[in-house]
Amino acid sequence: MGVSIQGGGKGGRKSLNADLNLVPYIDLLTCMVAFLLITAVWTQLARLSAAQKGQGQAGEETPPELQLKIVVVVNQEGFNVVVGQDQTPIPKKGTEYDFERLGAELKKAKDAHPDKNDVQVASEDQVVFDTLIRTMDTALSSRFADISLVDSGAAGI
Amino acid sequence: MPIYAPKSHLYESVTLDAAKARLTHSSRKSVYEALNLVAYIDMMTMLVIFLLMSFSATGEFLFIQKNITMPDAQNWSSLERAPVIGVSKDVVTLDGVQVAAMEELSKDSATGDAKISELYEKLVVLKNNYKLLHPTDQFNGIAIIQADKGVEFKALKKVMYSAATAGYNNVNFAVNAWSKGGGAAPTE
């Protein structure tokens, strides 16, 4: 096993060229490929965290009216980014939500309030799940790590 | 004395042609041919490296349900073991067992209570079981909602409300991990 050295070189000397026995190596590779193909993960599933918070939740140290709230309202017309008392409506681009502009507005809000990590996503009943996930994903991309998903009625806008 | 052109005199005494040919190495080429295995081994090595890169030793917490198309997200975290609430366009399931039909969720409740009673009861049982089995651990209240892309928030909020009233306040949404760069880093 391993190396077979052929004799019969010129002048009766043994040849220096050797053929490797590759059969065990090919066996090993074939077994590994079969095992890895069976256990391969083709679709990676993950999660997005979202808390459920209402107004004036127990345990909050600062009264809710004194806290600066950043809320993204998602409705049939588009988004409405609410930072404290300022509201920035972001209408849809045709039939599509304008996530690019939402990201820009949220980045602006983050730059203005760098200590603020929480944002509320307030949704209307008819908004589909995909839009909510993309909204939360955009908020996470804008460095808001703490996201809560609430009903638009409960957001108090 | 005649002069003859020089020639080989070896094995002249062997009369059998086949044996003579064998002895003088003038036989036909062997039917055996050595295969060049280098390309094959290269290919196998590449395949093994690719499969090893996509190998996950953590196991599967979640399985793709046939009638649920999950949304994509870039800023994802790794999954944790938790009760899985499936929300498709037809039914709501808890760990694969149906707990409500979507028709019921689409209707406005006559009593105004958005709670899905069967889901609530089963989640309470799961929470109590966890507390019994892990008396020293703190209950983290994590539930995973595996919802279809097209499900409306109206149905989703009833599921979330039921989970919250049962003590599952930390809701995680199952997504397909997707990244622009081809290798997303988890946020945690």
The residue ranges of DSSP E strands in B40-94, in sequence order, are 72-73, 84-87, 91-94
Give whole-number Cα distances, B93 to A72, B39, B129, B144, in Å: 29, 50, 19, 12
Task: Choose among A142, A117, A121: nearest CA to B74.
Answer: A142
Fold classification of A64-151 is: Nucleotidyltransferase; domain 5 (3.30.420)
- pLDDT tens, position by position, A35-81: 999 887 777 777 787 776 654 444 445 555 557 889 999 998 899 99
Residue bearing tokens 């689409």: B106
What is the pLDDT, as a whole number, of residue A138?
Answer: 92
The total number of residues written for chain B in this structure: 188
Percent of chain A with pLDDT over 70: 80
- What is the phi/psi pair of residue B3, to 5°? -105, 130
Q: How far, in Å, CA of B166 to CA of B118, rounded?
A: 11
- CB atoms under 10 Å from CB of A47, counted, come to 26
Q: Between A52, A140, A151, which is nearest B171 by CB?
A: A52
Contact B150 A128 (CB under 8 A): yes
Helix orientation angle between A129-141 and B153-165, rounded to the nearest 10 degrees: 70
Which token pair is A10?
């010129």
Q: Between A29, A39, A129, which is nearest B71 by CB?
A: A129
Q: How far, in Å, CA of A151 to CA of A124, rounded?
A: 6
3-state secondary structure of B32: coil
Query: Which pLDDT band holds residue A131 (cuts at 50, 70, 90)?
Result: very high
More confident residue, A42 or A28: A28
Instruction: Name the residue in chain A with its Cα closest to that of B143.
Output: A49
What number of helices (H) and strands (E) belong to chain A?
3, 8
What is the pLDDT, as a whole number, of residue A156?
Answer: 66
Question: Using beta carbons and an 8 Å cutoff, which residues of A are at the interface with B?
Answer: 19, 22, 25-26, 29-30, 32-33, 36-37, 39-52, 123-130, 132-134, 136-137, 140-141, 145, 149, 151
Contact B171 A36 (CB under 8 A): no
- pLDDT tens, position by position, B31-72: 777 778 889 999 999 999 999 887 777 666 677 777 888 888
- pLDDT tens, position by position, A102-119: 999 999 999 988 888 889
Which token pair is A15?
């040849």
Contact A47 B164 (CB under 8 A): no
Contact B54 A49 (CB under 8 A): no
| CATH 3.30.420.270, chain A: domain bounds | 64-151
Q: How far, in Å, CA of B2 to CA of A147, rounded?
A: 112
What is the pLDDT, as a whole number, of residue B43?
Answer: 94
Average pLDDT value for chain A: 81
Could you tell me if A66 and A73 are in contact, meaning their C-beta atoms sit under 8 angstroms apart? no
Q: Between B47, B153, B175, which is nearest A125 by CB?
A: B153
Query: Which residues share a beta bridge with A72?
Result: A81, A121
Contacts of A114 (CB under 8 A, 6+ apart): none
pLDDT per position in chain B (188 positions), as tens? 788 888 777 777 888 887 777 777 666 666 777 778 889 999 999 999 999 887 777 666 677 777 888 888 888 887 778 889 999 988 898 888 888 888 877 776 666 677 888 889 999 999 999 889 988 888 888 899 999 999 988 888 889 889 989 888 888 898 888 765 333 444 44
What is the pLDDT, as a whole number, of residue B61?
Answer: 67
Which residues in A lie closer than 8 A to residue B162 (C-beta atoms)? none
Contact B176 A46 (CB under 8 A): yes
| A to B CB pairs, distance under 8 Å | 144
What is the pLDDT, as a whole number, of residue B19?
Answer: 79
- CB atoms under 10 Å from CB of A23, counted, come to 10
More confident residue, A113 or A11: A113
Structural domains in chain B, sorted by start:
72-177 (3.30.420)
Contacts of B72 (CB under 8 A, 6+ apart): A133, B175, B176, B178
What is the pLDDT, as a whole number, of residue A132?
Answer: 92
3-state secondary structure of B146: strand
What is the pLDDT, as a whole number, of residue A38?
Answer: 87
Which residues in B lie closer than 8 A to residue A73 (C-beta atoms)? none
Report pTM: 0.71
Span between the terminal Cα atoms of chain A, in Å: 79
Burial B88-122 (b: 16+ CB within 10 A, else e): beebbbbeeeebbebeebeeeeeeeebbbeebbeb
ipTM over 0.90: no
What is the pLDDT, as a whole number, of residue A103?
Answer: 92
Which residues in B lie closer than 8 A to residue A25 (C-beta atoms)? 41
Chain A nearest C-alpha distance from B134 (Å): 23
Contacts of A149 (CB under 8 A, 6+ apart): A50, A51, A52, A120, A121, A123, A132, A136, B160, B171
Could you tell me if A74 and A127 are in contact, meaning their C-beta atoms sit under 8 angstroms apart? yes
What is the pLDDT, as a whole number, of residue B104?
Answer: 78
Query: Which pLDDT band holds residue A101 (cuts at 50, 70, 90)?
Result: very high
